[in-house]
Amino acid sequence: MMRRSKINQIRNIGIIAHIDAGKTTVTERILYYSGKSHKMGEVHDGEAIMDWMPDEQERGITITSAVTTCRWKDCDIQIIDTPGHVDFTIEVERSLRVLDGVIGVFCGVGGVEPQSETVWRQADKYKVPKMAFINKLDRIGADFFGVVEMIRERLIANPLILELPVGSEDNFTGVVDLLKMQQIVWNDDSLGATFNYQEIASDLIDQAKEYREKIIEALAEIDDDIMEAYISEKPVTTESLMKAIRKGTIEMKIVPVICGSALRNKGIQPLLDYIVEFLPSPADIPPIKGVHPATGEVIECPPLENSPLAALIFKVSMIEGRKLSFVRVYSGKLRVGDEVYNPARNKKEKVARILKMHANKRERIEEASAGSILCVVGLKESSTGETLCFQEHPVLLEKMDFYEPVISVAVEPKTHADQDKLDQVLEKLSSEDPTLKVHRDEDTGQTIVSGMGELHLEIIISRMLREFKTSVNVGKPQVVYRETIEITGEGSAIFDREVAGQHHFAEIHLVLKPRPRGTGNRFSSQVTFETIPEIYIPAIEKSVLESLESGMLLGYPVVDIDAVLAGGSFKESMGSELAFKVASSMACNEALRNGKPFLLDPIMKIEILVPETSMGEVIGDLNSRNGKIESIAAKAGVQVIKAVVPLAKMFGYSTSLRSASQGRGTFSMHFSHFDRI
């Protein structure tokens, strides 16, 4: 039987960052020093515990967010290690939805990189308190204070430095703890498991005093007691500083900043101390709110065991052929054998098993209380973003936002045996990953798989072969476009026909107007109920919006349209939903044709880091791809080019960049918006 933690001794934290900032290495060290694992797994050796998928080990990147738990100072720390690559943003998004605090890991050389900005904004969206760990200070070109400044400017955060690095690059030996005013030195013989507190070196003491004073000044602005002591020049105790830092962090007024080098085993134990000290327990954050599925009344779900159950499925995973639902329990208690209710589907489900996860290993438990993150086996129909509760106390928690795919490939089975498996495999993969969309092209009969980027689709194809033993031929990547109209288009249609012995009649006049980019589709009616009875308006709206899902040019979804029902007629006893649906669809198609339809390209934001000498060639290449350069700035010996480029022009870009910069350029790219080129 597992030992139970009180709710204020739980920390649900995530580790977020740009690709290659060292998130997984930080997590591996946390597990080692907390005694959860007895061997340090290294990402570059393909042996990291948290990167357990074969694709992750081969590529040295995190693809799925892995969940684990460790214990430190009487606290259970439940950790989610998230991916850093932009193609797997959904993994970060759904993890942040259920976390109470995050550690942003920043590379001491790269600083705040594009994907760290994206994930930081996602954490802001879910109001998650944050700490920053500046990693890789042993690397050439590492600049601790430069990164702190970037956190302030790029992330519009208020960083509070709690540690100073001792030495830099090859000479990085430890840190100065500004709260204890002591220097920490790690013993390399013990793989960093043991360390000593020493007097601060004489050449660092003045800087340490200056930065401790800065801590007091910053906290005086958010804490009245410290302000009083500061004004009257009384000494401020470490205890009162700790209390104020915790309060400021939870209220998201400050971001505590500490530093180290995870690969060199330095800086992790203070990070664990500060996770326990400064990040919130589930009891420290406002209770999550949901709504009653029938009445819409707002319901508060306090983090108490004796409250009604409220839990959110934040991820579904197929491991060894079994469906595992990752669940965060916000309120109440979940037990093996419980019959739970899913209000989104109006379905009851049975909890067959509850598992505590450690990456892909699991431990069976009998029950889980508020604050827990765990896996449930036995939920057949429930999916990502859905709520579990009890039918006598129904509650619907806010759903999650998912991103629209921007790139597609056609897949076809290599053999007849693969044909039978293909549909099942794709169904399993898309139930696991909400950003993966699968549809059949009616004209060609091909199965089209759409995702967030080339790497995303590569991993999906690789998993089909590795995990599900399904071989497929893959077509060239195709861009997922959108369609819209240039001018106002009008369309009219009459449906006047006998169907199954009954006469149906409907007349529709529809006006489609273009809306500003990114504002979506909208339907409104200007007809009186004498012209068309009120009962048929919802059927007309549904039919028009369904018609806009497939455009007149290439069948892509039509966006940014104002659809106005401007007129029509019906005949008594001949009006029917069927007639109005068909007439609406015909009128909509005619109006689209008359509105001069055109294609919208997915436009990507791209950030390129290149040496000064390669600038001309790289910019020339971007211009040839219809790229629009937004800014160029110098940073630590390289030039940073920010631009927007149509995705259709970006296939094979990594090869072009390598040849233009003698292999020294790097880039990251993510979806920005749809627009006309």
pLDDT in tens, 273-295: 999 999 999 989 888 888 998 88
383-439 residue pLDDT tens: 888 899 999 999 998 876 666 677 778 888 888 777 778 888 888 787 777 778 887
The whole-number average pLDDT for the span 465-470 is 79
Give the range with max mean pLDDT: 369-378, 414-423, 470-479.
Answer: 369-378
Q: What is the pLDDT of residue 123?
A: 84
CA distance 23 to 417: 41
Over 90: is that where the pLDDT of 208 sits? yes
* pLDDT confidence bin for 340, thresholds 50/70/90: very high
Q: What is the pLDDT of residue 637?
A: 64
Beta strand pairing call for 159-161 and 255-259: parallel
Kindly report which listed range (3-7, 167-171, 569-573) carries the lowest average pLDDT score.
3-7
CA distance 25 to 262: 6
Tell me which of 58 and 586 has the higher pLDDT.
586
Task: Let me know: does 235 contact 229? Beta carbons within 8 Å.
Answer: yes
Percent share of the chain, pLDDT over 90: 32
Q: Give burial (CB, 10 Å; 0-12/13-18/19+) of 101.
A: buried
616 token code pair: 């001309």
The whole-number average pLDDT for the span 454-465 is 79
Q: What is the pLDDT of residue 43?
A: 47
CA distance 148 to 218: 15
Amino acid making up residue 341: Y
Q: What is the pLDDT of residue 83?
A: 63
87-145 residue pLDDT tens: 566 667 777 788 899 999 998 888 887 777 777 877 888 889 999 999 999 888 889 99
> Helices marked H in 232-331 — which ranges?
238-250, 268-278
Q: What is the pLDDT of residue 62?
A: 45
Over 90: is that where the pLDDT of 164 sits? yes
Whole-angstrom distance between the N-terminal and C-terminal Cα of the chain? 61
Task: Let me know: does 247 contact 222? Beta carbons within 8 Å.
Answer: yes
CB atoms within 10 A of CB 661: 22
* pLDDT confidence bin for 40, thresholds 50/70/90: low
Tell me which of 170 and 178 has the higher pLDDT.
178
Q: What is the pLDDT of residue 1?
A: 36
516-530 residue pLDDT tens: 988 889 999 999 888
353-368 residue pLDDT tens: 898 877 556 788 888 8
Among 594, 657, 595, residue whose Cα is nearest residue 624: 657
Among 248, 310, 315, residue whose Cα is nearest residue 278: 248
The whole-number average pLDDT for the span 202-228 is 91
Task: Let me know: does 599 contact 483? Beta carbons within 8 Å.
Answer: yes
Give the CA angle between residues 421, 427, 428 to the nearest 5°.
90
Name residues whose C-beta falls within 8 Å of residue 510's C-beta, 6 or more positions apart in sequence: 490, 491, 492, 544, 563, 564, 565, 566, 584, 587, 588, 591
236 token code pair: 């401020």
486-527 residue pLDDT tens: 999 999 999 998 887 888 999 999 999 999 988 889 999 999
pTM: 0.69
Q: What is the pLDDT of residue 669?
A: 72
* pLDDT confidence bin for 4, thresholds 50/70/90: low
**Phi–psi pair at 294, nearest 5 degrees:** -90, -45
Tell me which of 327 and 48 has the higher pLDDT.
327
641-664 residue pLDDT tens: 999 999 888 877 877 887 888 767
Task: Let me know: does 66 contact 80? Beta carbons within 8 Å.
Answer: yes
**DSSP letter (8 states) at residue 308:** P
Among 535, 525, 555, 540, residue whose Cα is nearest residue 586: 540
Over 90: is that where the pLDDT of 574 sits? no
45 token code pair: 């050796």
Over 70: is that where the pLDDT of 593 sits? yes
What are the start-end ranges of the E strands in 108-218? 130-135, 159-161, 163-166, 174-177, 182-186, 195-198
378-414 burial string, b = 16+ CB within 10 Å, else e? bbeebbbbbbbbbeebbbbbeebeeeebbbbbbbebe
